Amino acid sequence: MKCLIIAAGQGIRLQSKGGVKPLVPLLGVLLIERVIRSAMEGGADEFYVTTGYEGEQVSCFLQQLAKRLKVSITPIQNDDWQKGNGISVLKARGIIEESFLLLMADHLFDPAIIRSLQEQPPKEDEVLLAVDTDKNNPLVDMEDVTKIRIKKGRILNIGKTINDYNAFDTGIFLCTPVIFEALEHACKIHNDTTLSAAIQILAEDNCAKSMKTNEFWIDIDDKNTFKKAEKAFLDSTCGKNNDGPVSYFLNRPISSRLSRFLVNFNVTPNQISFFSFVLSMIAAGLFTQGNYWLLALGGIIAQFASIIDGSDGEIARLKYLSSDYSGWFDAVLDRYADAFLLFGLTLYLSSQNLSAWVLGTGFLAIIGSFMLSYTAYKYDKLMKSRIQKGIRIGRDVRVFLIFLGAIFNQAYLVLMVIAILMNLETIRRIVICRNER
């Protein structure tokens, strides 16, 4: 699928965030890159970007992005960028001669919208627009949004000032070349160079169709909508459906703020995973010293490492750096960290009272934590697909118990609780997976 992106505007209301609107970074990734990546996930594989203000700078970035993403991106310069956005679309006439996706460089969206558009492609003389019928959508800027009147899938009226509206323009179109004819007609007959004018002309000929969507989308025009977009992305990427109670109520609220800071630096998820592992090793080393104050300090460091460990996945999702290897690498380091932390507690107790009970409890705690991690994949899949509800006991709970045991100098009690809890939870998962097989 070919995709045309309008990225010619100056974006005066966002100049405090960056000099060129398409190149404004949102949580470490430029707006135009987020749009292109979302379009690629939706199925687009060939891009044309109409540039205007500081077009050379935008084109230079697009050239680098094309190499990095291994996708075709062709800049189209629009020297009349100060006119309506319809001119930017017209610049692609003669270059794009078949159906294409039309997007805006400042509209972020869920790729599912594009996939839904593809399922109901327009006829040769039609244009299909994704519309939002939620008139109370908190992400919509009512003073700037383009409003639409639709009826039975048809667009009847479109504009920023219409009163009788029942939907919003998301800025996500599936067009046929008829859009170029409508734009020329709007320019010559009505002297209107906006895209909305062309859609209105098509609407009068019953050739402008709508597709309702309730997926995420936002038009970033000013500081207010920029902040809303940041929050929406953080809410959607910082946290997982299989988070345990400690992660959900304690770790994630802190790690998401940390991730918001880290996205502005050239830090990789693997580096964060390794840093978290190093902190856990330091904590385990402090445990072995046999001193309460070092034990307490180690507990604090271990819990901080657990919080940091949530940022690697958050950074990966925010900056499109997720990979199977990164997830596997993080899991391997977590298993090592858990073993050393529990072994450190065992050595702390052994320095005070070496007994078979201490060694046996420590061994069962380590085995229980390993088996709980081993059974997590199968169990988490069942939680998502069938179980739906339930408290997940995982690494977040285990490290938090270690933290509490270290702070209150109850290392043996914590080892015993972990040994019993982790092994019983493993058995419970085995039973659940057997019954749900």
The domains located in the chain, with CATH, are 2-225 (3.90.550.10), 238-435 (1.20.120.1760)
Residue 437 and residue 379 in contact, taking contact as beta carbons nearer than 8 Å: no
Give 251-256 contacts, CB < 8 A, sequence gap 24+.
251/306, 251/307, 251/310, 251/396, 252/310, 254/307, 255/307, 255/308, 255/310, 255/311, 255/314, 256/314
Residue 3 and residue 39 in contact, taking contact as beta carbons nearer than 8 Å: yes
Q: What angle do CA 380, 382, 386 make, to 5 degrees?
A: 140
Task: Please name every residue paired with 369 in a beta bridge, in sequence order, or none if there are none.
Answer: none
Q: What is the pLDDT of residue 416?
A: 97
Q: What is the pLDDT of residue 237?
A: 80
In whole angstroms, what is the distance from residue 99 CA to residue 97 CA? 7
Q: Helices (H) and strands (E) in the chain — how many of each?
A: 16, 13
Q: What is the pLDDT of residue 385?
A: 56
Q: Three-class SS of residue 53?
A: coil
Joined tokens for residue 165: 């509206």
Q: Which pairing describes strands 147-151 and 167-175: parallel, antiparallel, or unpaired?
A: antiparallel
| 10-residue averages of pLDDT along the chain (437 residues) | 95 84 95 97 97 96 97 96 94 95 97 95 95 95 95 95 95 97 92 94 96 96 94 82 83 93 94 98 96 97 96 94 93 96 95 88 95 80 59 86 96 96 90 76
Q: What is the pLDDT of residue 387?
A: 53
CA–CA distance from 271 to each of 43, 118, 257, 290, 334 (Å)? 31, 39, 18, 31, 14
Q: What is the pLDDT of residue 214?
A: 94
In whole angstroms, what is the distance from residue 10 CA to residue 436 CA? 56
Q: What is the pLDDT of residue 105?
A: 96
Q: What is the pLDDT of residue 262?
A: 95
